[in-house]
Structure 1
């Protein structure tokens, strides 16, 4: 039996199964990520992970798959495109235009549909089941942005893309509008070939970042990143960053919207990532009016739900304050005053800040 040939055939079969399960691409990476360790430790030492203590808690396990999951010999990597099926040509310009309408609430494109953790996990598990049915029981563990895994490093080593200057994985035929997932396996599989970088001298993502969180090529200070501030950060948003957040209430897509490669971004084949009512084109006032019960109902099965109603109101209050900085609006002010005595001190403080931004008529 030719073991090498059998392993190569298995990878081809896994890639075919992946396509059937709506993955856009399947690769295989090795487990030696030692070259990424110095950069990881320098980033953590500088405190760029902010409140995300879990990143530091796992230390170098993030860069050592075989320590994270003992017995791991290879990592199967997966890409899943997420643009909604109804996405039209010129979608980048359409999304950028939203930022010029201060009273519109802007939610990151990826979060407007079903929680990607659920979608990818279920399909990665289905892929693992198919492998087991084909070769018999084997050791594995599925990851979907759910543990200390260097996802972009693994993706770039396995040909899923290269690390863009905004630190996200980039693919010449798919841009960066995709999710990543992994299966750590105790199988020795041949690695798929990495691809070369194609950012060149372009610095569009660095230049456009509203808070200058991209401090250099392939380096992001999460403490300044709007995605971090609106999703991961639980406390008060730093005062100096609030005016820079504009009307972005959950995540930020700016660095992806200006990336030339995203003109090739692919639409998902799944209905899971279609936009939910209310998460695209709604006004700040509409979303600020959601009670906690309505928030939970409207975000059931959504990635947004995990930030909770308090952070939801905090984020929208900042956006409302920024709208008032542009133009005084009695309706916005009344909506804010309705939450001025909210039980949460975080909400009260951000509402007070927002009201203080009102421009004199």
Structure 2
């Protein structure tokens, strides 16, 4: 960023930024400074307890995520944006979660990769600023690099950190993405909003693996989103049954949150479900070879986990279905699992063997059964 004396712009310019943001497809824009020091102690305590699991990058970047001006020298302000993503034309979550033959994919991942969507729109915002004020120093972030998005969103007034650790907004719930534009000029800053969770603990209670260990504190090692997306390690056997048919992420804490009755659904084509992944057949998904996986997930966030993790997650879901399957359902499940055994990796085989063990053994020929 520029080393020249910083420029400053007024409230009228912020109002213009908000207008541009709306025109570009964002649902809110706010401004904050770069001081996130109030969040550092909590993060260090979280790391000390090992709650980051195998996400070593969380520790390696240290406190840089709370110091925007160290991450991008010259940063004076952070422009934060919110974009709603809950698609209107998808199968209901309860319908999918209640059917063990289907796989549940977190609603944010059903369409185009949000990193690409928001990054492109933020770049267009930066281009408009450049056209209006001339060249300036900036950098775009969308859930990337060591940036503490929750704190920036909270400080700028986009919402408050809920007990599930996600940002909540009184008019929009929590079904939205966040993005940031670090800039090297001064702007009037917005004020935080007060928290409105009150005594509600619905998200803590509903978590299938009890991963929310304190208000606003998540033990990633137990979180289904971490287990199905972030880590390539074996899913702990003690937690596999709790995953149910959740094969990519988990929305339970959002689905139960009272504030999400105010969430806005969107018709944005980028977030429409692709390839029927809002209510897919587990058996069909487990039959995908790597080429099919790559083809079907092109341009989607799902592709980031790779084919092995995808199969691992589906194998666990098939095991959970087998545990409650009827006799007619059990044989196709076993056949699907056994067809993959020995063909991908020992790690997948361990999950397949566990899945097969969830159903009662079929009668043996000549046993008189």
Both structures adopt the same fold (TM-score exceeding 0.5): yes
1:343 maps to 2:341: no
1:70 maps to 2:57: no
Figure out how many residues of one structure are paired with residues of the other and give that number.
353
State the 1:360 CA deviation. 4.8
Q: Give the whole-Å Cα distance in 2 for the aligned partners of 1:54 and 1:97.
A: 36
**Which residue of structure 2 aligns with residue 178 of structure 1?**
176
Question: Which one is further off, 94-103 or 181-190?
Answer: 94-103
Q: Give the whole-Å Cα distance in 2 for the aligned partners of 1:24 and 1:212.
A: 32
Specify every segment of 5 or more residues in structure 1 that has no aligned partner in the other structure, as ranges: none
What's the secondary structure of 2:342's corresponding residue? coil
1:103 maps to 2:101: yes
**Which residue of structure 2 aligns with residue 236 of structure 1?**
234
Q: Give the whole-Å Cα distance in 1 for the aligned partners of 2:29 and 2:224.
A: 30
**Which residue of structure 2 aligns with residue 218 of structure 1?**
216
1:199 maps to 2:202: no
The 1:20–1:269 alpha-carbon spacing in structure 2 relative to 1, beyond 3 Å, is farther
TM-score (normalised: structure 1):
0.95
Question: How far does the alpha carbon of each residue in 1:131-154 deviate from its partner, in whole angstroms, 9 at most, with x for none?
Answer: 111111111110000111110111
The structure whose Rg is larger is 2
1:187 maps to 2:185: yes
The 1:305–1:261 alpha-carbon spacing in structure 2 relative to 1, beyond 3 Å, is same
What's the secondary structure of 1:332's corresponding residue? helix
RMSD: 1.3
1:8 maps to 2:11: yes
Q: Give the whole-Å Cα distance in 2 for the aligned partners of 1:35 and 1:225.
A: 25
Question: Which one is further off, 304-313 or 321-330?
Answer: 321-330
Question: How far does the alpha carbon of each residue in 1:281-316 deviate from its partner, in whole angstroms, 9 at most, with x for none?
Answer: 111101111111111000000000011111000000
TM-score (normalised: structure 2):
0.93
**Which residue of structure 2 aligns with residue 165 of structure 1?**
163
What's the secondary structure of 1:174's corresponding residue? coil
State the 1:103 CA deviation. 1.1
Q: For 2:33, which of 30, 34, 40 is the aligned residue?
A: 30
Q: Give the whole-Å Cα distance in 2 for the aligned partners of 1:349 and 1:254.
A: 27
Where do 4+ consecutive residues of structure 1 move more than 6 Å? none
What's the secondary structure of 1:255's corresponding residue? helix
1:333 maps to 2:334: yes
State the 1:269 CA deviation. 4.7
Q: Give the whole-Å Cα distance in 2 for the aligned partners of 1:274 and 1:11.
A: 31
**Which residue of structure 2 aligns with residue 45 of structure 1?**
48
1:314 maps to 2:312: yes
What's the secondary structure of 2:334's corresponding residue? helix
Q: Give the whole-Å Cα distance in 2 for the aligned partners of 1:268 and 1:116.
A: 14
1:241-256 map, 5 Å: 241-256=239-254
**Which residue of structure 1 aligns with residue 57 of structure 2?**
54
What's the secondary structure of 1:215's corresponding residue? strand
**Residues 22 and 269 in structure 1, CA contact (< 8 A), matched pair in contact too:** no
1:281 maps to 2:282: no
Question: Which one is further off, 185-194 or 292-301?
Answer: 185-194
What's the secondary structure of 1:77's corresponding residue? strand
**Residues 96 and 257 in structure 1, CA contact (< 8 A), matched pair in contact too:** no
**Which residue of structure 2 aligns with residue 264 of structure 1?**
262
